[in-house]
Amino acid sequence: MAPKTKKRYFGTDGIRGRVGSEGMSPEMALKLGWAAGMVLKQVSNAPVIIGKDTRISGYLFESALEAGFAAAGVTVRLLGPMPTPAIAYIATTFGAVAGVVISASHNPYYDNGIKFFDNSGRKLSDELEQAIEAMMDEPMVCVPSQLLGRVARINDAAGRYIEFCKSTMAHGLRLNGLKIVVDCANGATYHVAPHVFSELGAEVITIGNNPNGLNINDGFGATDPAALQRSVLREKADLGVALDGDGDRLILVDHTGAVLDGDDILFIVMSGQDEPVKGVVGTVMSNMGLENYCQQKGIAFHRTPVGDRHVMEKLIKEGLKFGAEPSGHVLCLDKIQTGDGIIAALQVLSVMVKHKVGLNALKQGFIRYPQELVNVHLARKIKSIDDERVVEAIKKAEAQLGEQGRLLIRLSGTEPLIRIMVEGKDAVQVKQLVQQLESIVSEVYGK
């Protein structure tokens, strides 16, 4: 097989960057819409669906993409603010050639991004992305006026998606009697998620649901669950649900205020199935305790590089249904073909209701290895972590851990960060090693 051509625009999760930079400028979005339109209309004459999260720059990029697609002669349907998985779902049910999401997911408001889904609800193939990149290098030529794409808005998108989410609950199960705090991260789920849980019978308290264009992911949501923890304890709720800015991540909080990440959620979903699960997919960041549990139960545990795209590819290759990243991307391919925070939460709630036990009790069979994760902000852009001092520090730490733990240092694919993860059986040793590595990495690469 020939090696994949390195892409200049598309990263592991579409195109993402600081608004106004070369990578996320109005000019780039206009050209991208045109280039994607020229490529996608060779696949189908069906419309393109465009949705966005709540950050202020969404208006800018929505208009630029809309103009680019129209110039290529592609019909556009606009959804406005909608969760990423909702855009993927509606693209499939609407018969669109693709769904386009304007979002930087869990990043701050001053970043934004653009990613594509095909007509099956999955991320575009490498081949299509490479074809779009090649078209970006061509001069932009507008089709004749009579062939320009038309633009219209889909006004009932939220209602369609709410009903779909509700349909993924196990048949006949309701959430009556449960008190749930829902944190929408001031993002794309603010007008959707509360309705899903309340219409299924739960008493819902909502936080992080007043977006102003600048407060997405700011002090709320899956990347910062402290506000949710406080709210769950204050309201004496049964659990809390934290979504991120575009709704594809999920973090839970139990009635004691303890946080459950993607590893916990994957454990609960797979262990709560009526039929035996033959395998699941995690990443290099997944806790060793989860892998040990799977080994004990005869469940194949597959690791991939970080990124839900890699998890998805492995699930498809192995013919499996369930996968997750600790960060909260949870894939339940028996329900939807992309990560969906609301639907993942409903699968956990289905297990709770079916077994009539609390969230805290459901995670008890999962014995975690102590794990520490820190981020070091980069002072400059680097392509690899290859400084001799850092490499030597990594070797020493790995020797100390031996076979009783793991160490991972990697560049973030979405932010200017180096992520350091250490886990092992000895919590004191783990903390000491991560502090040592953080110190040397900060000295060499940090601000």
Which residues form the catalytic set? 105
Q: What is d(CA 241, CA 209) in angstroms, rounded to the nearest whole number? A: 13
Reduce the DSSP state of residue 109 to 3 states and report it: coil
Q: What is d(CA 343, CA 99) in angstroms, rounded to the nearest whole number? A: 19
Q: Are 45 and 145 in contact (CB under 8 A)?
A: no
Q: Are 113 and 24 in contact (CB under 8 A)?
A: yes
Reduce the DSSP state of residue 236 to 3 states and report it: coil
Q: What is d(CA 59, CA 105) in angstroms, rounded to the nearest whole number? A: 16
What are the b/e assignments for 254-268, b being 16+ CB within 10 Å?
A: bbebebbbbbbbbbb
Among positive and negative, which fits the CA dihedral 335, 249, 324, 1? positive
Q: What is d(CA 87, CA 98) in angstroms, rounded to the nearest whole number? A: 9
Q: Which helix (H) or strand (E) holds 215?
A: none
Q: Which helix (H) or strand (E) holds 374?
A: strand 371-377
- The separation between the first and the last C-alpha atoms of the chain, rounded to the nearest angstrom, is 41
Q: What is d(CA 382, CA 432) in angstroms, rounded to the nearest whole number? A: 26
Residues sharing a CB contact under 8 Å with residue 173, sequence separation 6 or more, in sequence order: 350, 353, 354
| Beta-strand relationship, 405-411 and 151-153 | unpaired
Two tokens, residue 320: 């499996």
Two tokens, residue 377: 């902000």
Q: What is d(CA 83, CA 100) in angstroms, rounded to the nearest whole number? A: 11
Helix, strand and coil in the chain, % to nearest 5: 40, 20, 40
CB atoms within 10 A of CB 426: 15
